[in-house]
Amino acid sequence: AQSVTQLDSHVSVSEGTPVLLRCNYSSSYSPSLFWYVQHPNKGLQLLLKYTSAATLVKGINGFEAEFKKSETSFHLTKPSAHMSDAAEYFCVVSVFNNDMRFGAGTRLTVKP
Amino acid sequence: DAGVTQSPTHLIKTRGQQVTLRCSPKSGHDTVSWYQQALGQGPQFIFQYYEEEERQRGNFPDRFSGHQFPNYSSELNVNALLLGDSALYLCASSFFGAKDTIYFGEGSWLTVV
């Protein structure tokens, strides 16, 4: 079965500094990988997805992620954090029929 | 074009009661999946419905059951509610078998007292 591990439960950065949220995955088959963001008391919003095309994936709001098969990683990055980026971020893996397995989440705090 | 809609948005139930949550998928989607998100945790897969049948199931007891209607909408039923069932229940819609974007609803907040 597929699974993901988000390596940090909480990341704190200053506004204007880079963001790195780490995710490792496990899958017996070629996976699709996603990053979702969830603001407090809100639903899930898709940031970006990897589905076996380009390994560097660009998403919304300046986020991007790189699929590294050799490292089984799919880390999320952003060059410059904004206050509005403060939220919970979920790394997700899917193999067949969109059965999505979520990581435990990383809470991003952005300090002014 | 309406996205995924869920109802009700919030509800409170008593232990031992039964609850039904509803989901209408995004227009054109034929598959509905349900997830449970407990406070402070990531969503956990409950089950998936396609062609009115349960296709996949996560690690949830039989108290959790579902249904899909011919118009692709779906219901999640939970019997004999426990305090631990308190969570945000999310519905996701997609095309069956496709590695396409999956759309989530805003969720139904269930509190069991």
Structure tokens at A89: 């971020």
Percent of chain A with pLDDT over 90: 71
Which residues in chain B touch residue A99, judged by CB atoms under 8 angstroms apart? 33, 45, 48, 56
Give me the domains of chain B, ranges plus CATH numbers: 5-112 (2.60.40.10)
Domains and CATH numbers, chain A: 3-111 (2.60.40.10)
**Residues in chain A within 8 Å Cβ distance of B42:** 90, 102-105
B16: closest CA of chain A, how far (Å): 26
Query: Average per-residue pLDDT in chain A?
Result: 92
A97 has a chain B CB within 8 A of its CB = yes
pLDDT the model gives residue A9: 95
Going by pLDDT thresholds of 50, 70 and 90, the confidence category of residue A97 is low
- Please write the tens of the pLDDT for every residue from A48-74: 999 877 889 999 999 999 999 999 999
pLDDT of residue A98: 64
Determine whether the interchain pair A101/B94 forms a contact, defined as Cβ–Cβ distance below 8 Å.
Answer: no
CB-CB neighbors (< 8 A) of A100 in chain B:
33, 35, 43, 45, 92, 102
Residue A93: CB atoms within 10 Å: 24
For residues B104 and B12, which has the higher predicted lDDT (pLDDT)?
A: B12
| B-chain residues near A49 (CB < 8 A) | 101
Beta bridge partners, B110, equal B11, B87
Q: What DSSP assignment string belongs to A8-69? A: -SEEEEETTS-EEE-EEEE-SSPPEEEEEEE-TT--EEEEEEESSS-SEEE-GGG-EEEEET
Q: pLDDT: is B28 or A19 the higher one?
A: A19
Q: Hey, are the CB atoms on B42 and A104 less than 8 Å from each other?
A: yes
Q: Provide the chain A residues 24-53 that lie in CB contact (below 8 A) with chain B.
A: 32, 34, 36, 42-44, 46, 49, 51-52
Q: Are B9 and B106 in contact (CB under 8 A)?
A: yes
